[in-house]
Amino acid sequence: MTITLGQIRIDPVAELDHWPFPPAELFPAVTPEQLGDHRGDLDLSITTYLVRTPDQTVLLDAGNGNAKERPVLLAHHRFDTPYLDRLAAAGVVPEDVDVVVATHLHPDHCGGFTQLAGGSWDPTFPRARYLIASDEYAWLQEVHAAAPEGGVAADLARTFEDSVLPVVEAGLVELIDLPYEVADGITLRALPGHTTAHLIAELSGGGQHAVVSGDVLHHPFQFSDLTLAQGGDADPAVAAESRRTLCELAVERDALVLPAHFGPGRIDRDGDGFRYRPVQSGGA
């Protein structure tokens, strides 16, 4: 599925097509009414977006990456996926990538910044500028500096060490303030709550719009109750506000929504709330 916005070409590249979670693990406050007829696990994906302008190749989210040790966050532990082959199938080898941006620094979005090479973690995209929001970087650096011995914080500290620090040490990271224009038609904006400085990427070309929304929402049924928090939301109230902001923005611009963990779609107003309309194939 290639999406075209004027001169901008967007290819979703999935790292994982199926990533199952028990509903209550993902959404601790979920009610039977919200689940409706749904039975069993919620099936997420891990999807990144390759965006090509006439002169820039930009990767929005880099996935979890292979072989990462995540003994606490076991759903992120020791992946072995053909993600780079899938990127190649979309016509891009790692050396082609000019800019890498993670919507936030959770392991399934920035883990792919690095790959294991001869026992060390090397930048996966050796020529790229890795853009990281300053506040997001400061948050994860602090988690790491506290040297947590266990819990989720320990895996976040590992993420800093094996996925972020190596690209910093290679001189590839540029800390940015938001909003930030990456290229003509690609603007990064803060939409916080899931993490300190979670960002979205607004894409525009030929009078059409799309938005790479990262983890502002994790599953379409959050549209029925935008206050439904995901277990990892750092600030649930701000995250809920950001979900509404994203919906308003997408409706206003008739933007195609490109989430990290479920399929592309459009958002319609539904009374006081919103409804998600998945887009199965082609065209924006």
Residue 159 near residue 169, CB atoms below 8 Å = no
What is the spatial distance between Cα 231 and Cα 14, in angstroms, rounded to a whole number? 23
- Assess contact for 136 and 198: CB atoms under 8 A: yes
Please give the structure tokens belonging to residue 30.
């979920």
Would you call 168 exposed, middle or buried from its count of C-beta atoms within 10 A (0-12, 13-18, 19+)? middle
User: Shortest approach of Zn ion to residue 236 CB, angstroms?
Assistant: 16
Given the complex with Zn ion, which of 8 and 260 has the nearer CB atom? 260
Question: Which of the 8 DSSP states describes residue 133?
Answer: E
Q: What letter represents residue 65's amino acid?
A: G
Smallest distance, Zn ion to C-beta of residue 283, A? 26
Cβ burial of 104 (10 Å; 0-12, 13-18, 19+) is buried
28 or 36: whose CB is closer to Zn ion? 28
Angle at 214 between CA 47 and CA 62, to 5 degrees: 50
Residue 10 DSSP label: E
CB closer to Zn ion out of 52 and 261? 261
Q: Report the nearest approach of Zn ion to the CB of residue 215 (Å).
A: 4
Q: Which is nearer to Zn ion, 6 or 232 (CB)?
A: 232
Query: Residue 202 or residue 215: which is nearer to Zn ion going by CB?
Result: 215
> Toward Zn ion, which CB reaches closer, 76 or 144?
76
Peptide bond into 28 cis (omega under 30): no
Q: How far is the CB of 272 from Zn ion (least distance, A)?
A: 28
Q: What is the DSSP letter of 203?
A: E
Q: Taking the complex as a whole, how short is the minimal distance between the CB of residue 110 and Zn ion, in angstroms? A: 10
Query: What's the closest the beta carbon of residue 232 comes to Zn ion, in angstroms?
Result: 8
| CB closer to Zn ion out of 108 and 233 | 108
What 3-state DSSP class applies to 238? helix
User: For residues 59 and 52, what is the distance between their CA atoms, to the nearest angstrom?
Assistant: 9
Give the binding site for Zn ion (CB under 5 A). 108, 215
Shortest spacing between CB 194 and Zn ion, in angstroms: 8
